[in-house]
Amino acid sequence: MGDVVNLHRARKAQARRAAEVKAEENRVRFGRTKAERERQADELERQKRHLEGHALTERDEHEKPRG
pLDDT in tens, 3-53: 888 999 999 999 999 999 999 999 888 888 889 999 999 999 999 999 988
Instruction: Decide which of 15 and 54 is more confident.
Output: 15
So what's the pLDDT on residue 1?
A: 65
CA distances (Å), origin 9, targets 2, 12, 14, 16, 59: 17, 5, 9, 10, 72
pTM above 0.85, yes or no: no
Instruction: Provide mean pLDDT across the span 43-67.
Output: 80
Any idea where the domains of the chain sit in the sequence? 7-54
CB distance 59 to 65 below 8 Å: yes
